[in-house]
Chain A
Amino acid sequence: MSAAAEPVREPVRLPPAELVSLSPDVFTELFWHAAGEHRLVLPRCSACGTFRLPPSAFCWKCRHQEVDWVEHPGTGTVYSFTVIRHPLMPELADTVPHVPAVVELPNTNGCRLVGAMTDCAVSDVHIGLPVELVWRDIEEGVAVPTWRPA
C-alpha cells in the first residue's frame, strides 16, 4: 500500500516585472523613493493625524495639505483577494496564477495597500491571513510591494 500522495501545493506567481510602469507625481514620489530603499512610509495628515493612501493633495477628513511621512513595519492582514487564473493578455500566458491581495495595515485608520502574494501556495491565501511586506525589485531604485504569509 502506497502512502497517500502529498496534496499538490500550487505556488502563487508574480506578474511579469516588465509590465510594471510607475509614474509618480509630486504627492506619491516620496512613497516610491522610500520603496526603492525597501522602506514603507505612509503620509499622515500633519493637522489631524489621518493616514491616506494613495498619497494625495488633501486630507479627506480635514482638507489639510501638509503630511508627515511615517515609517510602517509593513505587516497587515488580507482584507480580500482574487486568484487570477486566466491570462487576460498574451504576455501573461506563462505567468498565472497571480494572487493580488488587498491588505489592511494596522494603526493607519484602515488604509489598504494592494500587492501580489508571493512565497506561498494559492491555497494558503485567505481573508484574515497575517502577511508581511516583501519589496520586489523591478530595476535599480524601483521596487513594488508584494506580500507573503507572516
Chain B
Amino acid sequence: MCLAIPGKIVEISSDNQDSALVDVVGVRRRIDLGLLQDDKPAPGDWVLIHVGFAMSKISEQDAADQMSTLRMLGEIDGAMQEVQGYGLEDVN
C-alpha cells in the first residue's frame, strides 16, 4: 500500500553498517538497513525501499523467472490463438 521502490545498493557506510547509499535510476539516497539485519545486503544487491528503510532484498532471479514466465505465457497464448484458429477446443 505504501510507496516502495527498488534501488541498487551502491555502498555500505564504513562507520555505520546499518546505513547504505542506494541508486534509484540515477538518484542517490541514503537509506537504513536496520530491518535487513538477518539477511544483510551487499553492494550490487537490489532492495525495496519504503520511507527510507530497506524492507526486503529483491531477487533478480525471481524477477527474471517471472519475466520469462510472462513472455512464455505470451508465446503459449500466441500458439493457442493459432490453434484455436484451426477450430480446436479452448484448452484454458
**Do A and B form a real pair?**
no
B-side residues, CB < 8 A to A, are none
